[in-house]
Chains A and B, each alone.
Chain A
Amino acid sequence: MLRIAIVAVMFCAAALSARADDEEKKISNDRPDRPLHMPAASSETKEAFDDFDRFARRGAWERATKALYSIAEDQAGRFVDGKDGFIVPVARKRRDVLSALSPEGQAAYRLFYDSDAEKLLAEANGPKEQETLERLYSSYFLTSVGDNAADRLGDLYFEKGQADRAADCWLSILRERPDSELSPALLTVKAALALARAGRGSELEALRPDLNDRFAGETVTLGGRKTKVADLIQGLKVVKEQADDTIPRSADTPAPALPESVGAAWQVRFGDSVTAGMTPEERAQWDKSPLSNAVPAVTVQGGKLYANYLGHVFAIDLTTGKMLWRSASFHDLEKLANQNQMIATNHYAVLADDAHVWTLGRDPKNQSYNATSPLVCRRAETGEVIWQSPDLTEYSGMEMMGTPILAHGTLFLAGRKSATETSSSSNISFYGSSGNQHQYVMAIRPRDGKIVWTADVGALRDGTRYYYYGQADNSPQPRLIYRAGSIYIDTHNGILARIDAESGAVDWGYGYPTDPVQNSMSRLIIINGMLTQSSPSSSAGGAPLRSGDALIFKGAKSDRLCAIDPDRMALLWERPIAKSARLLGLDDEAIYLGGPELGALDRKTRALRWSTPLPGGSDDGRVIARADGIWQLTPRGIFEVDPRTGAVRRIFRGDDDGSSGGDLILAEGLLLAITNRAISAYPLGQAPGGNPDGAAVSGKTTKEIE
């Protein structure tokens, strides 16, 4: 009897332990140790979903659906846990749970809510048409008129150019409303056209058998014109407007091969300008300062290189190496070396088009503890300031961060701001608290700085800003990418979120494992940087990589490499990886990783193929990853690595002695090496040096990955 009791106790303990482990692993927006929480639905809303589940299991349809409709309308845009780690808006979850009802439940549901839905559909006219249709789509999709509402909403989205959202509307009718009386041929054609325009290739291919076999002979009316399906779908393919980060096999630019010994075609030694005239003591002070290790953020546009060096913006002609203009003299930086220990030198960004240059980064002359980074727009030709965020009231209190991106004529940028207060002083946070800050993404009109929309991604639980103790904010910066009408933000705080680029609506978030929020006790003692043990990779979070239908990403503080299908909202795979790793690029065969060493993961088996330690590691800096080689700038020169084996093929020492590594860019027939001391341009050779297949592969396509 005693034995049985012991076995039973052990079994219970094991079961409880397993359950606790599962709870530990489960990513939930409600977990208090998560550093970023998407705007959470109220507890009443969550209870309503629980009630729905309970009543639906019992077959109490009226009470079940009533529970769902007790959710206040203002909760529709709040977030709850969805499937597979996704965090979805209440409206979406409501539609999903209703779609999952049994036929009996759906029949009962229609009995209760058809009349409400019909009434709403009748009101869906005029200025409130879209809003009403959206409400119908989210709340009454399963009613008899829900499919009609979704179809009309799809038409509206498509007319506005929101092909991605239009495709979702039509696909949901095809997938979730098989009882719909709408023409399946027309719906399929519309969905296919929207998918093609949105760049969702694999979903388009999934519809193609139906289009070719089932509906090819049918005639549909589109835009008032009758057309045969076969004619419509002829030559229908994905519009390749959005970038894909997979390195193609075809060629367009020569490899960054350098002759055995070649001097720089030109060099801009801005580091010398800073240190010119310094006394030995001043020089020693400067060398000790973190500012002396700052590598300027650069971008190349229209034959010019634009750089943001600690808030000093300058332009260089790529042909001659001549500095065309600069916003301020470099000399004043030496005076700031001792006073600005808290400036994060890698939080500067620059972006340009043919006529404008946008820069982001704190002004080192601003000694205020709560200084933020202004966004400044200048004329590309002269450097003259056109507009700057401190002059615009709508930016008040917003701390902008990360690297802005320009897509479809709109500037997108991440920022943080206190949710309750608007004054800039409200951003101060002490002792590691976040000060009630929220993570935002903004869409900005590039010409005048007007904010088109601001999307709230979530509330931060962990600020990690220690102004009083002289430590720079080395927290990883959020990264943005544009893909098929959506902006994706990897917050590097455990959430990857998708935002509609047109409206700023947050579609969903994906919660991935990340470091939990630390209590303030363990982070208090910071005295003059004495205990600064931060990893060099702490702020080197990369942007997600686009590969076909998949997004591959890794949070800076995460020990998982994840691949998701953002259109189907599915986790494709995930793999444990060292926290210190970062994504560099990918091709058909491998995913290239940086970190303490360079590495390559096999895309099929996801096993680590090779790993190559380089001097100084590969924790930050832009690396050129191509099908014919990987090039990295290290403190000991430019290393060329074979992407198949990881072997170092050759080392080009160059003219960057004394630098601490930096970025490599291939542009205008030059290999540009950007370090903390100089920008050097090296002329390219004829074929990749040391590569036995050099002649055959010398023309493969370049992909510069940040």
Chain B
Amino acid sequence: MTRSNLAVVTVSLLTLLVAGPARAQVADGLDGFTVTGKGTASALPNRLEIDLEVSAASELSADAIVKYRDAKKRLEDAFATLKLPNVAVEERALAVDQKGQAYSPYYMEMPAANKGKVEVQLSRKLVVSCKDIGKLDEESLLQLVARLLDVAQDAGAKIGNATEYNPYYGRYGNGSNALVRFILDDFDALQEKAYEAAIVDAKARATRLAKLSGTAVGRVAGVRELKVPGDNVSPQSLMQTIVAYEYGVNAGQDKEAPHKEITSDKFQKIPVEVALQVRFEVAAAAPNPKATTTKPAGGGQ
């Protein structure tokens, strides 16, 4: 491909990129009242999770398997002996890779390795999950968390997600020091309340605009979800995306099946937030004497 061809392709792509949003703008239009309504309902988390990692590496794959198997078994046995009905150890994906062979952006190369020598590394993320924590008072919850952390550490598990080297920050881990993740995943009823509140909020905003502009709010012409609870992009995955883009490396992505939950590093009431974009039609209303004296310059909002 010649330089001129490249230029043509680049310009075409840019044109497409610029043209896309323009068309969308036209389609959105300014017909009626388009407002954003927000609704919030909050509740204490109902579950907590602790991330653990078991990993084992060795020159001989058989050794790595024994190490990995023993480490995992000891961890599972340790939690089993607790005999806590609400506590479960869930397994995440198993990774089989080569120890110490991560790309180093500073050296712009793979680390020096002995030719043909591969140290096999098996690692798996385990998640200790404890449900129904909303029923516990703070003291009981602290006792429970301390117990779970102690058991995990005594079993030799690595707590948290701090083992991956992060070339973007030049350090290990994702910057968060939280050991426990508090989760609200039983929030259907709360979500309904938040949606209702968001619609009410939208209607109130539209009514205000209508009142100021001397018109009346008509029926709802369209609704778009701007913020839906449980669909957040975590800062960690955002950071991983940046790393992957900057350096072409995949810093420990742990893809899990999508599930709906709201997480917090702190034990507090977790807000279930909904943001809706609602478009109301302009209703044909009785003429407003004030509105007739001050004729609006344009239609719409």
A328 part of interface (Cβ distance < 8 Å): no
Q: For residue A598, which residue of chain B has the nearest CB? A: B156
Chain B residues with Cβ under 8 A from A580's Cβ?
Answer: 57
- Known contacts A597-B67, A607-B62, A636 near B153 by CB under 8 Å: yes
Interface contact B116-A24, CB-CB below 8 Å:
yes
8 Å CB contact of A533 from B112, B117, B155, B165: B165
Interface contact B170-A608, CB-CB below 8 Å:
no
Chain B residues with Cβ under 8 A from A530's Cβ?
Answer: 170
Interface contact A646-B70, CB-CB below 8 Å:
yes
- Known contacts A613-B71, A636-B154, A608 near B62 by CB under 8 Å: yes
CB proximity to B under 8 Å, residues A591-611: 596-597, 599, 607-611
Interface contact A576-B154, CB-CB below 8 Å:
no
Bound state CA distance, A533 and B119, in angstroms?
A: 18
Interface contact A611-B153, CB-CB below 8 Å:
no
Shortest CB-to-CB span from A112 to chain B, Å, is 47
Chain A residues with Cβ under 8 A from B74's Cβ?
Answer: 612-613, 647-648
Bound state CA distance, A516 and B115, in angstroms?
A: 11
Interface contact A522-B154, CB-CB below 8 Å:
no
Interface contact A613-B115, CB-CB below 8 Å:
no
Shortest CB-to-CB span from B105 to chain A, Å, is 11
Shortest CB-to-CB span from B275 to chain A, Å, is 41
B245 part of interface (Cβ distance < 8 Å): no
Shortest CB-to-CB span from B2 to chain A, Å, is 37
Interface contact B59-A577, CB-CB below 8 Å:
yes
Shortest CB-to-CB span from B82 to chain A, Å, is 15
Shortest CB-to-CB span from A14 to chain B, Å, is 15
Interface contact A651-B116, CB-CB below 8 Å:
no
Shortest CB-to-CB span from B217 to chain A, Å, is 60
Interface contact B170-A531, CB-CB below 8 Å:
yes
B60 part of interface (Cβ distance < 8 Å): yes
- Known contacts A525-B106, A531-B170, A610-B66, A648 near B154 by CB under 8 Å: yes
A518 part of interface (Cβ distance < 8 Å): yes
Q: For residue B57, which residue of chain A has the nearest CB? A: A578
Interface contact A597-B71, CB-CB below 8 Å:
yes
Chain B residues with Cβ under 8 A from A647's Cβ?
Answer: 74
Bound state CA distance, A597 and B107, in angstroms?
A: 30
A contacts with B: majority SS:
loop
B256 part of interface (Cβ distance < 8 Å): no
Bound state CA distance, A535 and B58, in angstroms?
A: 15
Taken residue by residue from 511 to 546, chain A's Cβ proximity to chain B (1 for < 8 Å, 0 otherwise) reads as 000011010001001000011010000000000000
Interface contact B63-A516, CB-CB below 8 Å:
no
- Known contacts A533-B165, A615-B156, A522 near B107 by CB under 8 Å: yes
- Known contacts A522-B107, A608-B66, A613 near B165 by CB under 8 Å: no
CB proximity to A under 8 Å, residues B52-94: 54, 56-60, 62-63, 66-67, 70-71, 74
B137 part of interface (Cβ distance < 8 Å): no
Q: For residue A581, which residue of chain B has the nearest CB? A: B58
8 Å CB contact of A515 from B114, B115, B156: B114
Taken residue by residue from 100 to 121, chain B's Cβ proximity to chain A (1 for < 8 Å, 0 otherwise) reads as 0000001101011011110100
Q: For residue A516, which residue of chain B has the nearest CB? A: B114
B128 part of interface (Cβ distance < 8 Å): no
Bound state CA distance, A612 and B66, in angstroms?
A: 10
Q: For residue A599, which residue of chain B has the nearest CB? A: B67
Interface contact A611-B56, CB-CB below 8 Å:
yes
Bound state CA distance, A140 and B10, in angstroms?
A: 84
Q: For residue B75, which residue of chain A has the nearest CB? A: A613
Shortest CB-to-CB span from A517 to chain B, Å, is 10
Chain A residues with Cβ under 8 A from B59's Cβ?
Answer: 559, 576-579
Bound state CA distance, A518 and B116, in angstroms?
A: 17
B130 part of interface (Cβ distance < 8 Å): no
Bound state CA distance, A367 and B241, in angstroms?
A: 45
Interface contact A577-B71, CB-CB below 8 Å:
no
A281 part of interface (Cβ distance < 8 Å): no
B157 part of interface (Cβ distance < 8 Å): yes
In this complex, the member of A646, A647, A648 whose beta carbon has the largest number of chain B beta carbons within 10 angstroms is A648
Bound state CA distance, A516 and B165, in angstroms?
A: 24
Chain A residues with Cβ under 8 A from B56's Cβ?
Answer: 597, 611
A21 part of interface (Cβ distance < 8 Å): yes
Bound state CA distance, A648 and B70, in angstroms?
A: 12
Taken residue by residue from 554 to 581, chain A's Cβ proximity to chain B (1 for < 8 Å, 0 otherwise) reads as 0000010000000000000001111110
Interface contact B112-A522, CB-CB below 8 Å:
yes
CB proximity to A under 8 Å, residues B118-164: 119, 153-157
Q: For residue B70, which residue of chain A has the nearest CB? A: A611
Q: For residue B59, which residue of chain A has the nearest CB? A: A576
Shortest CB-to-CB span from A164 to chain B, Å, is 34
8 Å CB contact of A614 from B54, B67, B156: B156
Chain B residues with Cβ under 8 A from A646's Cβ?
Answer: 70
Interface contact B156-A597, CB-CB below 8 Å:
yes
Chain B residues with Cβ under 8 A from A24's Cβ?
Answer: 115-116
Taken residue by residue from 177 to 194, chain A's Cβ proximity to chain B (1 for < 8 Å, 0 otherwise) reads as 000000000000000000
Bound state CA distance, A609 and B106, in angstroms?
A: 40
Chain A residues with Cβ under 8 A from B70's Cβ?
Answer: 610-612, 646
Chain B residues with Cβ under 8 A from A533's Cβ?
Answer: 165
In this complex, the member of B58, B71, B107 whose beta carbon has the largest number of chain A beta carbons within 10 angstroms is B58
Chain B residues with Cβ under 8 A from A596's Cβ?
Answer: 57
- Known contacts A525-B107, A613-B157, A21 near B116 by CB under 8 Å: yes
Bound state CA distance, A609 and B111, in angstroms?
A: 31
Q: For residue A646, which residue of chain B has the nearest CB? A: B70
Bound state CA distance, A599 and B63, in angstroms?
A: 10
Q: For residue A617, which residue of chain B has the nearest CB? A: B156
- Known contacts A522-B112, A559-B117, A579-B119, A531 near B106 by CB under 8 Å: yes
Bound state CA distance, A597 and B155, in angstroms?
A: 11
Bound state CA distance, A21 and B115, in angstroms?
A: 9
Chain B residues with Cβ under 8 A from A522's Cβ?
Answer: 107, 109, 111-112
Chain A residues with Cβ under 8 A from B153's Cβ?
Answer: 615, 636
- Known contacts A576-B59, A611-B66, A651 near B154 by CB under 8 Å: yes
Chain B residues with Cβ under 8 A from A607's Cβ?
Answer: 62, 66
- Known contacts A559-B59, A597-B71, A615 near B154 by CB under 8 Å: yes
In this complex, the member of B57, B62, B70, B109 whose beta carbon has the largest number of chain A beta carbons within 10 angstroms is B70
In this complex, the member of A518, A531, A599, A611 whose beta carbon has the largest number of chain B beta carbons within 10 angstroms is A611
Bound state CA distance, A322 and B57, in angstroms?
A: 45
Interface contact A578-B156, CB-CB below 8 Å:
no
Q: For residue B63, which residue of chain A has the nearest CB? A: A608
Q: For residue A615, which residue of chain B has the nearest CB? A: B153
Interface contact B116-A577, CB-CB below 8 Å:
no
Chain A residues with Cβ under 8 A from B155's Cβ?
Answer: 613, 648
Bound state CA distance, A609 and B62, in angstroms?
A: 11
Q: For residue B157, which residue of chain A has the nearest CB? A: A613
Chain A residues with Cβ under 8 A from B170's Cβ?
Answer: 530-531
In this complex, the member of A525, A533, A575 whose beta carbon has the largest number of chain B beta carbons within 10 angstroms is A533
Interface contact B115-A578, CB-CB below 8 Å:
no
Chain A residues with Cβ under 8 A from B107's Cβ?
Answer: 522, 525
Q: For residue B156, which residue of chain A has the nearest CB? A: A613
Bound state CA distance, A365 and B156, in angstroms?
A: 38
Interface contact B66-A559, CB-CB below 8 Å:
no
Bound state CA distance, A576 and B57, in angstroms?
A: 12
Shortest CB-to-CB span from A358 to chain B, Å, is 37
Shortest CB-to-CB span from A325 to chain B, Å, is 39
Taking A559-B119, A608-B67 as given, write out 16 further A-B residue pairs in contact, using a Cβ cutoff of 8 Å, ordered by the A residue number.
Answer: A21-B116, A522-B107, A525-B107, A559-B117, A578-B57, A578-B59, A578-B119, A580-B57, A597-B67, A597-B71, A610-B66, A611-B63, A611-B66, A612-B71, A615-B153, A615-B156
Q: Show 30 A/B contacts (Cβ-Cβ < 8 Å), sorted by A.
A: A21-B116, A24-B115, A515-B114, A516-B112, A516-B114, A522-B112, A525-B107, A531-B106, A531-B170, A559-B59, A559-B119, A576-B58, A576-B59, A576-B60, A577-B59, A578-B57, A578-B63, A580-B57, A597-B71, A597-B156, A607-B62, A609-B66, A611-B66, A612-B70, A612-B71, A613-B156, A615-B153, A615-B154, A615-B156, A647-B74
- Of all A-B residue pairs in the complex, the 10 with the closest CB atoms, nearest first, are A613-B156, A576-B59, A611-B67, A578-B58, A608-B66, A611-B70, A608-B63, A559-B59, A613-B71, A576-B60
